[in-house]
Chains A and B, each alone.
Chain A
Amino acid sequence: MENFYIEDWFPLIMFASLGILVFSGLPVAFVISGIGIAFGFLGMAYDVFSFVEFFNIVSRIWGGIAENMVMVAVPMFIYMGTMLEKSGVAEDLLECLNVLMRKVPGGLALSVTLMGTIMAATTGIIGASVVMMTLLALPVMLRRNYDPSLATGTIAASGTLGILIPPSIMLVLMSDLLSVSVGNLFLAAIIPGLLLASLYTIYIFVRCQMQPHLAPPLPDAEALHGMDMVRMMVRSFIPPVFLIVLVLGSIFAGFATPTEAAGVGAVGATFLALVKGRLKWDVLKDVCERSALTGAMLFFLFAGATVFSYVFRSLGGDDLVIDLVDSAGLGAWGVLFLLMLIVFILGFFFDWVEITLIVLPIFAPVIAQLDFGDHLAVAGIGPTETQVLTWFAVMVAVNLQTSFLTPPFGFALFYLKGVAPKSITIQQIYKGIIPFVILQVIGLLLVMYFPELALWMPNTILE
């Protein structure tokens, strides 16, 4: 019998402590970093960590968060959202959509899903899109007596589509780690991304049809007719359409990169406020301040998470995961299912970067060599390694998108909670996200069962 060393179990104990202490009511980011550091010191006491290794925390905060050009989009999207809220543009739009879709069950929620899908055409930093959509849509939905769980679930899930639908920083990191073309992964993720958006849409529609009290339709009294309707549409549609054209247009016309488009949108939102006559120095200051506070919340979560996962890895947490898979002795499908399960469970606690770093480098080569029979074969020709890896990467990507939604550490849920009105409780958010997590799992299984969902686009366009 092997000797028992408590230090071998530190990574698991870290998980457990996090799962408990996150409910202490202290700021989540403080808890996660605090546990990381506490276990660093514990590791020192057991000689499996050294003091100087804490230096890497600074390197990670610097290199991973500060000197990271893609992050520049985050404050800009938050600013854009805050400014649109302040200037009333977003509210006008949603109210108008509400009136227009008066007869459609869950009309507002469906608009939110559409908005998330459109926003996904930018780089797709979840924090930015979830915060923006929460600021814009949640107050309107609540005022219209939407069920808080349905409203928050819709926003959180739709806001995470951007990390899957290209361009996506997550797919870029995966392409790096797998050394496969970004183009392949981008194309491969499009259909699964849209598939998820459709699943959300169907779910919202059916659920609201069956339980109308979750999304009360507007009373007929609020219906508008004739010229009133047209006037309202013009007034409320032109500003947001202008903004969407500005953001997406600047990307597709080759003016701005997907990251820069956020800055262009921020300028656009300021311009709209100016046109509406709402732009005063006090307003601008207030928007900046609230954006900065939201940004600080977001980035301190990043910082806390980076501390936790760094210490977890330094204490051998990766090896624990690797040994688990190696020792299971499974066949091709068994390995695949186990890996997906592991990614799903890791998703309860870690952010996607760290999970990607644990899972892809070690297991992708293994997966590439596994024999899935004719499952991936196209017209009788066996799959290439690139095809297997692409399929695998897309499944991991869908799975990781889910990790933003799964409690206790669903980052999308935190972002939402961080800017939601006070009346929204975490229980409501947790409850609201469950159906969407189930939809995610269905989406994942569909991609697993029908590899064409991922492979059809790259096979058709690139080969």
Chain B
Amino acid sequence: ADRVRWKMGSTYPGSLTQLGTLGKRVDEKIDEVSGGNIQIKFYEPGALVPALEVFDAVSTGSIDAAFSTPGYWAGKVPALQLFGAVPFGPQAGEYLAWVKFGGGQEIFDRLYAEHGIKSLFCGLIAPEASGWFSKEINTVEDLKGLKMRFFGLGAKVMEKLGVSTQLLSAGDIYPALELGTIDATEFSMPAIDLKLGFHQVAKYYYFPGWHQQSTFFDLMINKEKWEGLDKTQQAQIEAVCNDNLAYGFAEGEAIQFAALKELQEKGVNIKKWSPEMLDAMRGAWEEVAGELAAQDADFKEAYDSLQGFRANYKIWKDIGYLD
């Protein structure tokens, strides 16, 4: 078959634990698996196109592929957010079950196909943290007027609880948190947050990350280019992505506790939300989900499919697992 030489954009820098390294792994593995027949070159965000422009770029074919998460396309295809991470959503096993066998995949394929994109699930990671706070949060009342940098579905939920959400430029987050211009920021998971040094400016680290219990990454490919591949080549790329799913999940589970220990040693207060707080947030999320479903038919379809699957899955989950 014809050799493939693709340019792959990314929404994450290649050095970023998991989020970026999983993208670079696609570049390396596809080369090995295909014996050099397929090369998909990883480009840093901004090297070819800015991070959040990869969707349009893959869609037009001005880049061939991109490593990203469906959660980023809230502004363009709201329903795709449900394939990135769902607040109070399923954990990895259940999430994977839904997309592969519960009807998720079909909706996913259709949503992307409308934009000329073929996308493969290509990474799955452990829960995120809920965020870094400069003060302790004990009651829902404490959230009122809190200035928090937040992005995506979670931001809508937080606004319902009276949080003043902020969208700061990357350069401003750190000084703003340090100087009290904002009180909190969401970021990622312990292994990443430790490297990025958020403990240097905020002392309270909250869990669980209700807004992101597990997160999918995907490899978006220009649909025409995907269809131009032969069966073997397609299977090779699919195999690499499936391998990446397992690899990323295992790695994510393996690296968090050491980071948590180190953060604790550095004097970070690691906190868990109280059940009341979680209930309040869940209530707010259900309201938000209802509004989104009312606004967007695709979102409703995907959300109903997920909720339906989860109701059925519960039959098994309750009896099959220890707790």
Contacts and interface: CB of A to CB of B under 8 A. Distances in A.
Contacts of A69: 167-169, 172
A456 interface: no
Tell me the interface secondary structure of chain A in the complex: helix
B60 A167 contact: no
Contacts of A213: none
A258 interface: yes
Contact of B172 (A68, A70, A173, A365): A70
Contact of A353 (B46, B172, B175, B192): B46
Nearest to A125: B171
B-side interface size class: 35 or more
Contacts of B14: 361
Interface residues of A, number: 52
Nearest to B7: A314
B171 A357 contact: no
A357 B15 contact: no
A289 interface: no
B169 A183 contact: no
A168 interface: yes
Interface stretch (A57-65, A110-118, A236-244, A268-276): A57-65
B196 A182 contact: yes
Contacts of A310: 48
A56 B200 contact: no
Given A64-B50, A254-B179, A254-B181, A462 B200 contact: yes
Interface in A153-176: 166-169, 172-173, 175-176
Given A62-B53, A183-B201, A55 B60 contact: yes
Contacts of A357: 44, 46-47
Given A69-B169, A70-B169, A182-B196, A314 B174 contact: no
Contacts of A365: 15
Contacts of B63: 53, 56
A123 B56 CA distance: 30
A167 B173 CA distance: 10
B171 A59 contact: no
B195 A179 contact: yes
Contacts of A256: 181
Interface of A: 52-56, 59-60, 62-64, 67-70, 123, 166-169, 172-173, 175-184, 186, 251-260, 310, 313-314, 318, 353, 357, 361, 364-365, 462
8 contacts: A56-B53, A63-B49, A123-B171, A169-B169, A169-B171, A184-B197, A254-B180, A357-B46
